[in-house]
């Protein structure tokens, strides 16, 4: 590989303008649909009167035609778009849930990425709590390239197979099937489906030079749709047949303990199999057609499998990713298998969907919101006996200013660490949240509130300003923390250290319902869990003393991540050897999320010490 700084030519260099113009085009191209420009949502009108289950999906932009291109009769009812390669935020998703709401319920289809999963989960829980509507999330993880040992905590990534799940769910909903039955069919498809990708070069984000521009001399096997590193490589001189054979081996060889995700029965020649050959964005139509023909031939000659249905084209791209992916969906020999096939065949007017071609059919089948009470006024007390720190004014604006100063100071380091082992946005995302809080504080949106309700306002601002995984995690924790304090703050009763530790412990429990990350998994939880745990242990001390001890525990937890390998987030898929810092005696840099949390806590500590 050779490294160089370079811009790749694009007609639209501004990624924000690119997404906005794409979204704007949808309202012009689909006159029967509605477009919510503020929240980037494309949807069908009057869904509450449809008399059936509705289907919603979404995710980061850059994967077109997913997901806007799949809104139409027989497919999705609504889709919500985030920025390039970034999950839509909770407010966007909440609005999408509102426009897609149906008395019969809503199914939300989400690709298995941490940011998407957490933001959609938070929005769903808040929406269900507020409305009582039945909303179910179907999580799609079909990538077979991620080894079991590396992805056992986060699961497989969501790739082009999500398009098949969209079609199955959408067609089933338009048939009038109920919620339980549609979810059952989606789960059946997910369980019997796998995808593997191969690329000649990483995709290019418009307007962004690549700090480490990779001119590949290898074919990248298993490269992710956000430029996540490949699981292995093949020589660039490898024939197309050799590449396809390697991909099919990862899909079908059950002797590969780390990758054999599909059941051995998938290779049974009597079973119907759907083949999806997906263009990642940068291949020509003729090349996709040729690769499809070669894949069918190799499946027949090597595995005695002839797909009964073939889909080829661009279903889930990675901007201009110069590669393709193969998805296999094995249809169980049952009425349900026949039904899945029929649902994929049913017509749709969604402009992004390319219908399948029928080949050998064998025997032809028959045709999170937490409700709170209004808090009474009260003051804040962080002293053990509530004698001091009785502050009739709201300290939140001062805390916000201190947090911004600390986050601004730490952001370059956090970003540097995240560039090495993540997608590089952890520091800038956290800084955007802190800056949004400061703007709100300057407008008086926080100073006019008592402490507990100020925290709820603060949580809403964070949810709106911070996208991706960190925004969802901070949003869930702050929402639950503020709700608990609202319940504790009664008529003129001061909040003590015990109250704060109780609220923090409860908020952590709620957060852990939505993420499996724990101590040792190299996430911000390595700092947050020790902080909350020590705050509870030290609840009988004075406020400053308790917070100092909790902060020291968080610092130790953050430093411990230098010796850990990630089990959650995009850094999960990065090689063990990336980012080693042996010169400083560390395995790798500290986790950027834990460093970010530490900056926030240090900002709070400065205010508490000043009191």
Residue with tokens 């509870």: 536
Could you tell me the end-to-end alpha-carbon distance of the chain, in angstroms, rounded to an integer? 56
Of 47, 115, 114, 112, the residue nearest 79 (C-alpha) = 47
> Other CB atoms closer than 10 Å to residue 36's CB: what's the count?
18
Rounded-to-integer distance, Cα 272 and Cα 289, Å = 21
Q: In this structure, is the dihedral angle defined by the CA atoms of residues 228, 229, 233 and 235, taken in order, positive or negative?
A: positive
Using omega within 30 degrees of 0 as the cis cutoff, is the peptide bond preceding 491 cis?
A: no
Q: Which of 63, 204, 226, 322 is catalytic?
A: 226
- Strands 2-4 and 213-215, by their bridges, are antiparallel
- Strands 272-279 and 309-313, how do they pair? parallel
Alpha-helical regions (H) of 352-425: 396-421
Count Cβ atoms below 10 Å from residue 239 Cβ, excluding itself.
Answer: 10
Find the helix or strand (DSSP H, E) in which 327 lies: strand 323-331
Integer Cα distance of 185 and 167 in angstroms: 11
Examine the residue annotation and report whether 226 is marked as an active-site residue of this protein: yes
Residue 164: count of CB within 10 angstroms of its CB: 26
Please give the distance of CA 486 from its chain centroid, rounded to a whole number. 30
Residue 104 φ then ψ, to 5°: -85, -5
Residue matched to tokens 């811009």: 7
Distance of alpha carbon 381 from the chain centroid? 38
Question: Do residues 508 and 486 make contact, with C-beta atoms less than 8 angstroms apart?
Answer: no
SS3 519: coil
Active-site positions read: 226
């Amino acid at each position: 590989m050779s490294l160089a700084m370079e811009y790749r030519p694009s007609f639209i260099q501004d990624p924000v303008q690119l997404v906005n113009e794409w979204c704007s085009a949808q309202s012009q191209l689909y006159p029967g649909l509605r477009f919510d420009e503020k929240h980037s949502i494309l949807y069908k009108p009057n869904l509450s009167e449809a008399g059936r289950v509705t289907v919603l999906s979404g995710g980061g932009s850059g994967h077109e035609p997913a997901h806007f291109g799949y809104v139409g009769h027989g497919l999705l009812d609504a889709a919500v778009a985030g920025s390039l390669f970034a999950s839509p935020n909770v407010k966007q998703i909440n609005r999408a849930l509102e426009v897609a709401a149906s008395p019969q319920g809503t199914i939300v289809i989400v690709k298995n990425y941490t940011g998407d999963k957490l933001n959609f989960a938070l929005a769903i829980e808040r929406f269900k709590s507020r409305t009582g509507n039945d909303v179910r999330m179907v999580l799609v993880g079909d990538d077979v390239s991620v080894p079991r040992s590396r992805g056992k905590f986060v699961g497989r990534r969501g790739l082009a197979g999500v398009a098949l799940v969209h079609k199955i769910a959408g067609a089933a909903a338009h048939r009038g099937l109920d919620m339980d039955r549609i979810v059952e069919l989606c789960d059946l498809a997910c369980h019997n489906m796998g995808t593997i990708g191969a690329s000649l070069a990483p995709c290019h984000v418009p307007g962004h030079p690549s700090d480490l521009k990779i001119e590949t001399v290898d074919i990248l096997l298993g490269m992710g749709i956000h430029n996540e590193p490949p699981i292995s490589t093949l020589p660039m001189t490898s024939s197309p047949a050799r590449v396809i054979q390697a991909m099919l081996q990862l899909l079908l060889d059950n002797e590969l303990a780390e990758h054999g995700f599909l059941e051995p029965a998938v290779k049974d020649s009597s079973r119907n199999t759907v083949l999806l050959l997906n263009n990642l964005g940068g291949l020509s139509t003729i090349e996709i057609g040729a690769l499809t023909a070669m894949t069918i031939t190799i499946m027949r000659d090597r595995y005695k499998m002839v797909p009964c249905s073939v889909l080829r084209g661009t279903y889930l791209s990675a901007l201009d990713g110069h590669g393709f992916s193969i998805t296999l969906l094995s249809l169980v020999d049952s009425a349900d298998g026949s039904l899945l096939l029929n649902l994929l065949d049913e017509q749709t007017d969604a402009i992004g969907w390319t219908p399948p071609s029928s080949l050998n059919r064998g025997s032809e089948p028959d045709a999170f919101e937490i409700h709170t009470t209004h808090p009474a006024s009260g003051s804040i007390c962080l002293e053990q006996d509530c004698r001091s720190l009785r502050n009739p004014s709201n300290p939140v604006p001062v805390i916000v200013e201190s947090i911004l100063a600390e986050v601004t100071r730490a952001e370059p380091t956090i970003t540097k660490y995240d560039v090495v082992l993540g997608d590089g946005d952890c520091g800038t995302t956290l800084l955007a949240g802190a800056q949004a809080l400061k703007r709100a504080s300057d407008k008086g949106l926080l100073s006019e509130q008592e402490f507990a309700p100020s925290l709820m306002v603060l949580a809403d601002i964070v949810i709106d300003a911070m996208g991706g995984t960190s925004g969802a995690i901070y949003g869930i924790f702050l929402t639950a923390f503020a709700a608990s304090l609202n319940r504790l703050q009664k008529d003129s009763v001061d909040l003590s250290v015990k109250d704060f530790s109780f609220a923090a412990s409860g908020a952590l429990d709620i957060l852990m319902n939505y993420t499996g990350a724990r101590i040792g998994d190299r996430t911000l939880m390595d700092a947050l869990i020790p902080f909350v745990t020590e705050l509870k242990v030290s609840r009988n001390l004075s406020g400053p003393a308790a917070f100092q001890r909790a902060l020291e525990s968080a610092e130790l937890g953050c430093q411990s991540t230098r010796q850990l390998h990630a089990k959650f987030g995009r850094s999960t898929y990065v090689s063990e050897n990336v980012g080693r810092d042996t010169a400083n005696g560390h395995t790798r840099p500290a986790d950027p999320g834990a460093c970010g949390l530490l900056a926030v806590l240090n900002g709070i500590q400065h205010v508490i010490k000043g009191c």
